[in-house]
Amino acid sequence: MAITLCDINGCRLERGHTGKHNKFPEFVWTSQFNKKDIDKVNKAGYATPRGGDKGAYQNHVYRNNKVIIPFERLENVNLNNYQDGYVIRLFPNQYFESAGVVKPEFLQPNSFVKVGDNAFILYRTHSSFEELPPLPDWEVRHLKKNGNIVTRRSKDVIDAGHYVLRLSSISNKKERKEGPPQGIFAPEYANAETNYLSKAFLAWLIIKTQNSPYNEEQFQHLRAILISHNLINISQLEEKAILKNGITCCPLCEQIIFYEQLHEMVSFEGASGLANSQEQVEGATRSTSVNLFHMVPLVYETLEHKPDQIAWGHAICNTRLGQRECLPLSRLKQEGTPVGLLDEDSNLEVLGWISKDKQFIRTENGEVWIKITDIEFNDDFEE
């Protein structure tokens, strides 16, 4: 029996429900899921930045949170994207000309960047802290609620202060860590609506894995929510290799995902080109075989964590793809160029299709080639 959604003020409960409206009902999957699968979906809704705390990032909090914008990225971002707020991070050498001397651009009355208001200074080395110290009237960043200092973020808590210390221990200098995490990694941001729909879609893909313990008929409410946003378009999902013959699929290698892989630890056995990786990371990784997979890389310029651009994919395939867009064969045929081998008579035997940026090749039988040089993720490094 088809379920009709309430839709009053965006409510996704069934029409005619009692009680309060609810835009983000997670019980539509959690009521049937086991704890491991609930945790798997929840984790996909968290921001988990590389570098984590050393960059003053929050870790394992929902994507709909305040973000950190690196000062050097300010011109590349649309600040209106961040509905949950933002704060600008500067390194001391970006703000100071010399000890105690602020660069003129920050002293102008119309300067957008104001340390202590919408920006903070991040000290990551003892040398920068000694050579370009905080101004005398500055305070370490801290949290306040109703005028009182608090230790945990919650509703109505605000950030105060000017700088954060993340100084590693070196030789005779001890580690110094002062000031709370300031926000999440901006490319991982998604507002509450997008984050909810993304989790809902990933929950549905768990149901669609091979050997799934769940019966899709038990999730009609979840299905109704996804259909209302056109997120269960089977032909499109098959074309993007998010599904294969109706079963959840890794979009890169186009192999079906087995339910058991969602929770087993990753193995590099049989992974071409990664044969010695297992020894290198044995005991150091807790990654599962299948994880959240982004079809489009996360970047500062645009928000790319969206329900129509995510899937479950192999951890090894995620590693291989790196910061590249995962292009399906159909799109490569439309936009790319045929590539192949020349025979003795200089006739081209088509091998596959290469992307416009020459980074990605697919063949008809599912083989993939990825360029492994000249592509790197722009991490936040202090000059």
Residue listed under structure tokens 């208001």: 117
Residue type, 349: E
Distance CA 168, CA 122 (A): 13
Q: What DSSP character marks residue 288?
A: B
Q: CA-CA-CA-CA torsion for 346, 372, 256, 294, nearest 10 degrees?
A: -130
Q: Are 16 and 8 in contact (CB under 8 A)?
A: no
- List all residues 6 or more positions away from 323 whose beta carbon is below 8 Å from its beta carbon: 297, 375, 376, 377
Measured CA to CA, the distance from residue 303 to residue 310 in angstroms comes to: 13
Residue 284: burial class (beta carbons within 10 Å; 0-12, 13-18, 19+): exposed
**Tens place of pLDDT for every residue, the chain, 383 residues?**
689 999 999 999 999 999 999 999 999 999 999 999 999 999 999 998 766 889 999 988 999 999 999 999 999 999 999 999 999 999 999 999 999 999 999 999 999 999 999 999 999 999 999 999 999 999 999 999 888 888 888 788 899 999 999 999 988 899 999 999 999 999 999 999 999 999 999 999 999 999 999 999 999 999 999 999 999 999 999 999 999 999 999 999 999 999 999 999 987 665 554 443 443 344 445 689 999 999 999 999 999 999 999 999 999 999 999 999 999 999 999 999 999 888 888 887 888 999 998 989 999 888 899 987 764 545 554 44
CA–CA separation, 303 and 188 (whole Å): 8
Angle subtended at Cα 21 by Cα 20 and Cα 23, rounded to the nearest 5 degrees = 145
For the chain, the domains span 24-43+191-321, 49-188, 329-370
Residue 158 to residues 85, 143, 146: CA-CA distances in angstroms?
11, 6, 9
Are the C-beta atoms of 40 and 207 separated by less than 8 Å?
no
- How crowded is residue 102: how many other Cβ atoms within 10 Å of its Cβ? 13
pLDDT of residue 285: 52
Residue in the structure block whose two tokens are 């910061």 = 323
pLDDT at residue 1 in the model: 67
Burial 55-92 (b: 16+ CB within 10 A, else e): bbbbeebbbbbbbbbbbbbbeebeeebbebebbbbbbb
Where are any strands of DSSP class E within 134-256?
A: 142-145, 148-150, 158-160, 163-167, 176-178, 184-185, 243-244, 247-248
Q: Where are the alpha helices (DSSP H) in the chain?
A: 27-30, 35-44, 92-95, 126-131, 192-207, 220-228, 234-239, 277-281, 315-321, 329-335
Whole-angstrom distance, CA of residue 307 vs CA of residue 381? 30
Residue 288 CB contacts under 8 Å (≥ 6 apart), including other chains: 261, 262, 263, 264, 265, 266, 315
Number of H helices, E strands in the chain: 10, 21
Supply the pTM of this predicted model. Answer: 0.89
